[in-house]
Amino acid sequence: MDDTHCETYLARLTPPGKSAIATLSLFGPRAWEIIFKVFKPRTKKPLPILPAPGSVFLGRLGLGHGDEVVLSCKNNSPMLLEIHPHGGTQVVSMLLEFLQAEGATLCNWQDFITHTTADPLQAMALVLLNQATTSEPTKILLDQFQGAFRLWLDSFLGFINQGDSRNATAMLSDIGRYSYLSGRLVEPWKVVLAGPTNAGKSSLMNILAGYQRSIVSEIPGTTRDVLWLETAIEGWPVSFADTAGLRTTSDPLENAGMLMGTNATEQADLVLWVQDCSSPVIPAPILFNNKKILGVTNKIDLDVFQADSIPQGSIGISALSGLGIEALLSKIIAELVSPVPKPGQAVAFHPLLKSALENSLEFVDKGRLLDVPKLWESFKKI
């Protein structure tokens, strides 16, 4: 990124600790010169003067006899090499020290990304890609890594420079439809199971988990602590919270549990308001008024259940038999991920970008620009 320096950087890309193989990377103008001098190829064939991207060499590297490593050239202009030694901590430390003694500058992988990527936005997407745990956020981050947000930003800045605030504002409102995703590409969505005692919240939690995560009992007030379960639905990371059922009680522990449940609900992206189909319908408390709520009518396996008794918009399920669970999961994702981004859609893929865009909206007429390098500096401090 910074073309004023001409250092050669070295980083360990695999996390510290023992592993079968580790990956080190060497980047910069002297990368090949260093390797050319100290790498001992396994065959008699000497290393080329300039390696082709994609070429791979087997040989030894390091002090004394060194370690057997696989060396690969990712790019030769600028030079980016990967070294795969054995993953023991001593081997890796020896190689890092050895290559530093040959003139490479050691840095952590985040700083390494800063040096090897051309655009801070790309670096940001790459850091987040390493943290994404499921397929959908990975696809979105990959699109941004490949330039979706950068393209959007360049045309937005183009409109600003031309003084065309109408088109700039339209672009902001277009991308703003997807800014709900900014905090949910790395962090899971939070879905809270709430409702009266004995409605079947813990049973629902268990069927979602596929094992007994929560204690199920016909005794009201069994669940007290908030229990979290992280899972993936349709490629999205989702955390469910099972909470103490809401009822009036004098039990201080149960009341404390209800308070914890209320606090969990404050962070919720979605509340599942679970009710028993054989009990009178209770509307969700006003407490949840500013939350997205999805009604769930449970125990539809009971003989007393009548299909027309399901409140409008509510989903009928049986946490006992699994009936309706697939439909419930799809509905949860439809509630959370809306509108669905198309492949290649530009997305403000981090809360810092989201707030920068919100500020831009305020300053569009004054031509205030998004300061990407400054954002990257703030991002690295998080």
Ligand X SMILES: Nc1nc2c(ncn2[C@@H]2O[C@H](COP(=O)(O)OP(=O)(O)O)[C@@H](O)[C@H]2O)c(=O)[nH]1
Interface residue list for Mg ion (CB under 5 A): 202, 223
The sign of the dihedral angle between the CA atoms of 41, 45, 48, 51 is negative
With binding defined as CB under 6 A, does residue 314 bind ligand X? no
Choose the stretch contacting ligand X; rule: CB under 6 A; options: 50-58, 107-115, 315-323, 350-358. 315-323
Rounded-to-integer distance, Cα 139 and Cα 135, Å: 6
d(CA 341, CA 81): 35
With CB under 6 A as the rule, give the number of residues binding ligand X. 20
Cα angle vertex 369, ends 368, 372, to 5°? 150
CB of 222 to Mg ion, least distance (A): 5
Pick one of Mg ion, ligand X, none as the site partner of residue 144 (Cβ within 5 to 8 A by kind): none
Is position 222 an interface residue for ligand X (rule: CB under 6 A)?
A: yes
Identity of the residue, 243 or 360, whose beta carbon is nearer to Mg ion in the bound complex: 243
Residue 162 binding partner per list Mg ion, ligand X, none, with a CB distance cut-off of 5 to 8 Å that depends on partner kind = none
Q: Which of 215, 214, 9 is nearest to 112 (CA)?
A: 9
Among 298, 314, 345, 360, binds ligand X (CB under 6 A): 298
Among 101, 259, 302, 361, binds ligand X (CB under 6 A): 302
Q: 3-state secondary structure string, 87-98? A: CCHHHHHHHHHH
In the complex, least distance from residue 330 CB atom to ligand X, rounded to whole angstroms: 19
Does 320 help bind ligand X (rule: CB under 6 A)? yes
Query: Which CB atom, from 191 or from 353, has the smaller least distance to Mg ion?
Result: 191
> 78 preceded by cis ω (within 30°)?
yes
Q: Is 245 in the site for ligand X (CB under 6 A)?
A: yes
Q: Does 277 bind ligand X (CB under 6 A)?
A: no
Which one, of 273, 276, 250, lies nearest residue 261 by Cα? 273
Shorter beta-carbon distance to ligand X: residue 190 or 224:
224
Q: Is residue 260 a contact point for ligand X (CB under 6 A)?
A: no
| Per-residue interface string for the shown chain with ligand X, residues 348-367, x marking contact by CB under 6 A | --------------------
Q: Does 8 sit near ligand X (CB under 6 A)?
A: no
Binding partner of 318, given Mg ion, ligand X, none, CB within 5-8 angstroms per partner class: ligand X
Among 83, 328, 379, 342, which Cα is nearest to 201's? 328
Among residues 69, 132, 310, 319, the one that binds ligand X under rule CB under 6 A: 319
197 binds ligand X (CB under 6 A): yes
Residue 334 near ligand X by CB under 6 A: no
Cβ neighbours of residue 127 closer than 8 Å, sequence gap 6 or more: 110, 113, 379
Q: Report residue 289 as tokens.
A: 């008024």
Hey, what are 266's tokens?
């404050």
Contacting residues for 304 by C-beta, under 8 A, at least 6 apart: 277, 278
The residues near 73 (Cβ < 8 Å, ≥ 6 apart) are 51, 52, 53, 54, 55, 56, 79, 80, 81
> Residue 282 CB, nearest distance to ligand X (Å)?
12
Using the contact rule CB under 6 A, the part of the chain among 64-72, 132-140, 261-269, 295-303 near ligand X is 295-303
Q: Which of 223, 239, 297, 345 binds ligand X (CB under 6 A)?
A: 223
DSSP state of 102: T
Q: Is the CB of residue 265 less than 8 Å from the CB of residue 291?
A: yes
Tell me the closest approach of the beta carbon of residue 317 to ligand X, in angstroms. 7
The correct pick among 212, 217, 267, 338 for binding ligand X (CB under 6 A) is 217
Asked if residue 87 lies in contact with residue 22, where contact means CB atoms within 8 angstroms, the answer is: yes
Q: How far is the CB of 254 from ligand X (least distance, A)?
A: 11
Chain position whose Cβ is nearest to ligand X: 200
Nearest to 36 by CA among 3, 6, 8: 8
**What is the contact surface with ligand X in residues (CB under 6 A)?**
197-203, 216-218, 222-223, 245, 298-299, 301-302, 318-320
